[in-house]
Structure formats: C-alpha cells, structure tokens
Chain A
C-alpha cells in the first residue's frame, strides 16, 4: 500500500517494509538477533575497561564485583542492547560522515505485532509500547504490594523476613513511581500530544524511540535486582544515604535503574517541549492548545529542570559505595543530610510530574462529558505554571523531622500551603465546568469524578502534613502511606485509567466494554477507599510505616486493610480482561465516539500513519462545547472520514 500525503513538512511516502533479513544477515541487521551478540560484546568492553584500569593502578582485588556490576552489567550491557536493537544506527552513520539520508519512514507505523518489538519511530507505536510496558511493570509492582499486605495481615512475621519486606516495598514503590506513573503519562502524551497539536509526529522521532527503549532497561534492572546477592534494594524508594551506601549490592541496581528511567524521562520531556514549541498547526496559538498539551508542557519543564538532581544524588550514593568517597559520610567531612536535600529537590517537583499530566487528562474528559467549555481555561494553564514555580520551593517539607536547620521549617510550611491555592483553583474550575453541564456518566467520566473526590482527600491530608506540628506527629506513620496513596493511586492512577479508557477507541480502533469498565471503576473505587482510608486512623494512632511487624492493637484494622487490598488487586483483572478482549474482539470504533472537538478525534481510529492528510487550520478554542457555530479547526480529512462512516 502506498499512501501519499502532503503537509507542511513535505511529501511523506510510506514505503513497504523491507523483507526481514535471513541467514547470517540476521546478525548484522538491527534486531533481536544482533542484540544476542552485542550485549555480551559490550559487557566484555565494560568489564575490560574496569579490569584494565584496576590492573594499571594495581588495585586489589582485580576482580571487584561492585565496580563490575555498575560498569559492565548496568551500563555497557544495556548500551549493547540498544545498539543491537538499532537505536543508534542512524546516528553512527551520521557521525562517521555518511550522507544525510532522505527519510524513508520505514521505521514508521506498525503492520504486525512484531513491529512493536523493534525501534519504531512512530509516536503512536511508541505510545502503545510505553503503555504496555508500564502496565507490565505495574503488575509486578502490584504483586509486590500484595505480598507486603499479606505479610501485614497479622502481627508477627509470616511470609518474608525483615530485609525481604524492605526489599518488597522498595521495589513496589520504585516500580510504581519510575516505571509506571511517570512513563505511563509519557506514553499517553506520546500518543495524543502530536495529534492534538495537528503535527505528523514528534519533533525528534529517533530520540523518542531511544527514550522508550531506555525504560524496559531500567525496569528489568529493578526486577532483576531480586537476583542480586544480598537481595533487592531495601532502603525505600527514597534510598536515603547513609543507609543506602551500606546495604548489599541490590542498591546499585536501584541507583542505575533510576538513572536509566531518569534519562528516558529527560529525553522525552525535551522532545515534548520542542514539539509543543515548534510543531503546532497553523492557528494553534498557546492559548488555543488543549489543556493536556499545557499540562505536558509544564511537566516537561519540571522534568528537564529537576531530574538532573536525582541523577546527581544517585551518582553520589554510588560513588560513596564503590569509590569510597565522602559525600555523605560524616567521618571524612561529608554531609549526610545533603542527600535528602538533593533528593527532595527533585522528588518534590516529581510529585507534580506525576500529577500535572493527570490534571490535563481530567480537564479534557470533564469538558467533553459535561458538554461545556472548560471553566477558566487560562487560569487552568496559569495555575499549572504556578505549581511549577512553587514546586521548586517546598522540598524541605519532607524533612521537618530530619534535623535540618530550624529556620527552614516555617518558610517551607508557608510555600507548601501556598501550593494548595493553584491546586484548589483547578479543582474549583473542574467543579465549575460540571456545574449545570449535561453530564454523561461514561467510564472515563466516572474515573475523572472519582479522581476529583479522592484527590481532594489526598490534597487535604497534604495540607495537614504541610503544617509543621501535624507533620512531626505523623511522620513515618501510616498517615503518610494513606496520603501518598490518595494522591498517587487516587490521583495519578485514576487519571491514567481515565485516559486509557478515553483514548482506547482512538488507539486500538475498537470500543471497550462499557459495562465492564463501570464495574472496574466501582470495584476499584470502593476497594481503594476501604484500603487506604483506615490508614489515616491507624497512622494518627502511631502505626509506623515500612515495618514488617507491628503492635497487636493494630491487628484488626490491618487484617481489614489487607482483605480490601486483595479486592483492589483483583479489580485490576477486570481491567486487563476488558482491554485485551476488546482490543481483539471489540466493536469497531468510529473516528469520534465522544463527539469531542480536539484534533485527535477528527481523524480515523486509529489515525493514519502521518496523522493528518493535510495539516489542519486551527481557528478557535478546543472547548467550545454547546456554543453554536464554534469550531476548533478546519480539516479536509475529517469530511471524508465522516462520509466514510455514513457509507459504512
């Protein structure tokens, strides 16, 4: 099939894919066969560098596992994996002075399931790769949580030992944060943002592919850490030094996994920023962009500015461990609290990285299903920018009990409470959008409404925790666990669900089962609240978090929480059944099942390889629902698709 499409970026010709290489050619062409020999090769290079340096410097012992693990296993071998898969092919060709190739687009589009397992430069394929990968890690992280809850069902030790328990909740939290929430948003945005902007793809498609493939590397490192001698990383997802510099080798896997995932998110963020700044369709001014695009714009700025700090903090921990440096070791003049300052300077902005894209998704869904223009559009965008700025000034509220300088406490408390203002603006604007709207209770809308209710609870407990006295009382109790799950599960996860259901027809071309979707929502919503709400109670009574055993007076509540958490885990099965079954057998989806105005719904489901036959002309706001005669954009393609649907 040859499809010629013209747009502002010149003619795109879709080529038929080259026939798969056979025989020995398999081993030289990019792909999994080449990975087979390139991974050991690069492992050898890494190990060789380490051994050569150690031999030259006459260090003893020559064969030092910590250094070998970091360099050979966790750095060069993954690079070999990427090289084997072909992530660097074009750049190597360019660097060695090859001719600039005319883009043949053979890396675009997916014709069979195999195309999802290679370096694909199509943002829609990458978006789906992201989502499937992140949900796989979500399952692993969820299973770890189930084991944690099983252990906590009764006082005393039943299933694991203390160190194993520490490893389980560490891997659970790290997977959920770095391998699920952050990249799942990146995946949804990867699929949707270029479509919403009226662009044929992201600004740097090859960089986009590379940043996706860094992700499974980071995730497999974390999962693989269970095989490391001494067990998985066990210092919590925060990995506080100096504990983390003294634990067994698994911590190195944590350090490096975070680096890989962090590099992935920095690259994606740069890509989003450049795409949003340079690739908007004609007429798409900043004040006509959908709020999801705004959300990803601010999130990407946060990622670009904050993520290097976690990279730094993990480097320091790693150096303290393998080079015996003294960043955090007070004996040699290091400053132990420095880790927490540097870590939270990233990780507080990171909580906004984990929720701002969700705000964007919710804004889309609420406007569409309330059939009303979004209330206070500009204020919605500006409040996100306010969160961006304020987010950098609140990090020390995680450290009220750490022994840091006292004078930092009150300023941090004030800035923390101030952040509630732009967040409150958003919540009230959503409520204002719903006010007197014609609300359609579809599955995405249910998730969006569920999100608002749970997120308000999580946000309010956040305000409690921002106040120094309450924070000192509840530090490291289950109140914190309840808070983080209300904002991350009730916040981020609910928005990811809303987004997945909302764009499922667009991504797969099939409709999901609405009844199952609603059952999934209600079981999750009820089980979620029953699981995490009681944690507020036992937390204020003093049940400590991150401890495998606890005092007997908390036994009843913990048993109840554990049972509800298993129900919560089981509710996910409904989701996976619905998604997989509908992807294969669901009824065909029309181009615009929700009657939405934003650009991604104006093309077929799934969209053609280069999204738009002709770059659309944007003429108005994306949210003018119910306004007679209002149009967001003019498309030629849309007319033909509408005709096709009528004929069908």
Chain B
C-alpha cells in the first residue's frame, strides 16, 4: 500500500513539475492580472477535509477497541465531509469565473485541483464500500485491514490537498 502511495505521489509529482515549469521557468507574473482564486472558501474547505482525517482515525480506533457504532459513525462522518469538500470544489469550478483553456495559469489550477478531486472521488468510493461493509456487520477488532487501507488512502488524499492548497492558492 505504501508503495502504491509512492506511485501516486509521483503522479502528483509530474503535475507539480508541469506547474513548476509553467510558473517558475517561464517567469511570467503569477497569478496573471484579473485572475483571483477564492482563497478563503478553499481555506474553509481545507479545514473540512483535514477534520475528516480525524474522524477517519476515530473510526479505525473504534473498531480496534471493538466499538462498532463508533466505526460506523466515523465512516459516515468522513464520507459526508469528503462529499462536502468535493461538492464545494465543483461549485467553485462553476463560479470561479475562468476555464481551463484560458491560459496556462487556469490550466494548471484546474489540473492540479482536478487531479486531487479525482482522488477524493476514488477515496469516497472506497469509503462508501467500507461503510456498506461496516453496516453489514463486517470488520472486527482482529480483522479490520480494509478500514486501515481505506484510511491510509484517505490520509494521503488529505495530506496531498494541503500541499496542493499551499502551492496553488497561497504561495
């Protein structure tokens, strides 16, 4: 699993490389005039996603202690927060006021956040499967590897977002 994550990090790496070339090597003003990113909305969104990592951890700890209800609640909360994040992102895309084909700045904005959004989507799918299994009575204090793996992936998505948010929105 950690090897798979390493592979994913390299995929993000290739996108960041493109970002680096476009922004640093080309040396144009950044962001170009007239292009503003909704930094604060995205900041709130970041807070939601980071919180969801804690609920994910809570779910895992609960099943380790044999607390099934805790795991179920943790998974559902994580799923809902992830969904909120994704929907906010979609609304942001619709209202941000520019499109991927405007210039290189918008290209890299949409591709980095979009790549991350795709990963959130995959993470949500995994969470959904975990939730279904949790409600159908699977997982126990001894056997909860599925939750653990889903959790690793979710934390990865979360940490990656912090990197993406910092580079795209803040710096």
- Chain A residues engaging chain B, CB cutoff 8 angstroms: 94-97, 100, 266, 270, 273-274, 304-309, 311-313, 315-316, 319, 323-327, 329, 332-335, 337-338, 341-342, 345
Stretch at the interface among B72-80, B100-108, B158-166: B100-108
In angstroms, Cα B15 to Cα A308, docked, is 10
Q: Do A333 and B22 have beta carbons less than 8 Å apart?
A: yes
Instruction: Report B-chain residues with C-beta under 8 Å of the C-beta of A326.
Output: 101, 103-104, 106-107
Contact across chains for A327 and B3 when beta carbons are under 8 A apart: no
- Top 5 A-B pairs, shortest CB-CB distance: A312-B14, A333-B104, A308-B11, A97-B136, A324-B101
Q: Which B residues are in CB contact (< 8 Å) with A338?
A: 17-18, 21-22, 25
Q: Which residues of B contact A312 (CB under 8 A)?
A: 11, 13-15, 17-18
B10 contacts chain A at the CB level, 8 A cutoff: yes
Q: Is the CB of B17 within 8 A of A327?
A: no
Instruction: Tell me which residues across on chain B come within 8 A of A270, comparing CB atoms.
Output: 3-4, 7
Q: B13 and A334: CB pair below 8 A?
A: no
Q: How far is the CB of B118 from chain A (nearest CB, A)?
A: 11
Report the separation of the CA atoms of residues A305 and B10 in the bound assembly, to the nearest whole angstrom. Answer: 6
Chain A residues with Cβ under 8 A from B21's Cβ? 335, 337-338, 341
Which listed residue, B8, B129, B133, touches A308 by the CB 8 Å rule?
Answer: B8
Residue of B nearest to A266 (CB): B7
Q: Which of B1-59 contact A (CB under 8 A)?
A: 3-4, 6-8, 10-11, 13-15, 17-18, 21-22, 25-26, 28, 32
CB-CB < 8 A to B101: which residues of A? 323-326, 332
CA of A345 to CA of B8 in the docked complex: distance in angstroms?
A: 16
Cα separation A385 to B107 with both chains bound (whole Å): 37
On chain B, the residues within 8 Å of A306 by CB distance are 10
22 contacts between A and B (CB under 8 A): A97-B132, A97-B133, A304-B10, A305-B10, A306-B10, A307-B7, A308-B13, A309-B10, A313-B14, A316-B18, A319-B100, A326-B103, A326-B104, A327-B104, A332-B107, A333-B32, A333-B105, A334-B22, A334-B104, A338-B17, A338-B25, A341-B17
A334-B106 Cα distance, complex, nearest whole Å: 11
What's the Cα separation between A274 and B100 when bound, in Å? 39
A270-B4, A312-B15 known; A323 and B100 CB under 8 Å? yes
Residue in B closest to A91 when the chains form the complex, CB atoms: B129
Contact, CB under 8 Å: B105 / A304: no
Q: Which residues of B contact A96 (CB under 8 A)?
A: 129, 132
Interface size, chain B (Cβ < 8 Å)? 35
Selected from A94, A305, A325, A333, the residue in CB contact (under 8 A) with B100 is A325
Residues on B with beta carbons closer than 8 Å to the beta carbon of A332: 101-104, 107
Residue among B3, B17, B25, B32 having the largest count of chain A Cβ atoms under 10 Å: B3
Question: Is B111's CB within 8 Å of the partner chain A?
Answer: yes
Whole-angstrom distance from the CB of B6 to the nearest CB of chain A?
A: 6
Task: Give the chain B neighbours of A311 by CB distance below 8 A.
Answer: 11, 14
Q: Which of A308, A319, A342 contacts B7 (CB 8 A)?
A: A308
Pairwise interchain contact A305-B18, C-beta atoms closer than 8 A: no
- Asked if A97 and B135 make an inter-chain contact with CB atoms under 8 angstroms apart, the answer reads yes
Does B144 reach chain A (CB closer than 8 Å)? no
Asked if B138 is at the interface (CB within 8 A of a chain A CB), the reply is: yes
Q: Once bound together, how far apart are the Cα atoms of A309 and B6, in whole Å?
A: 12
CB atoms of A304 and B3 under 8 A apart:
yes
Residues in chain A near residue B22, CB distance under 8 A:
327, 333-335, 338
Chain A residues within an 8 Å CB radius of B25 = 335, 338
In the complex, chain B residues whose CB is within 8 Å of the CB of A323 = 100-101
Chain A residues closer than 8 Å to B17, beta-carbon distance: 309, 312, 338, 341-342, 345
**Separation of A319 and B104 alpha carbons in the complex (Å):** 12
Chain A minimum-CB-distance residue to B20: A338
- Within the complex, the shortest CB–CB distance from B51 to chain A, in Å, comes to 26
B residues 103-137 in Cβ contact with A at 8 Å: 103-108, 110-111, 129, 132-133, 135-136
A312 to B11, CA, bound (A): 6
- Residues in A with CB closer than 8 Å to B100 are 319, 323-325
CA distance A306 to B17 in the complex (A): 13
B15 to chain A, nearest CB (A): 6
Closest residue of A by beta carbon distance from B25: A335
Can you name the residue of chain B whose Cβ is closest to the Cβ of A273? Answer: B3
State A207–B6 Cα separation when bound (angstroms): 18
Chain B proximity of A276: nearest CB distance (Å)? 11
User: CB-CB < 8 A to B103: which residues of A?
Assistant: 326, 332-333
Q: Please, which residue of chain A has its CB at the minimum distance from the CB of B103?
A: A332
Query: CB distance A304 to B26 under 8 Å?
Result: no
- Contact (A325, B107) CB under 8 Å given A332-B102, A334-B22, A335-B22: yes
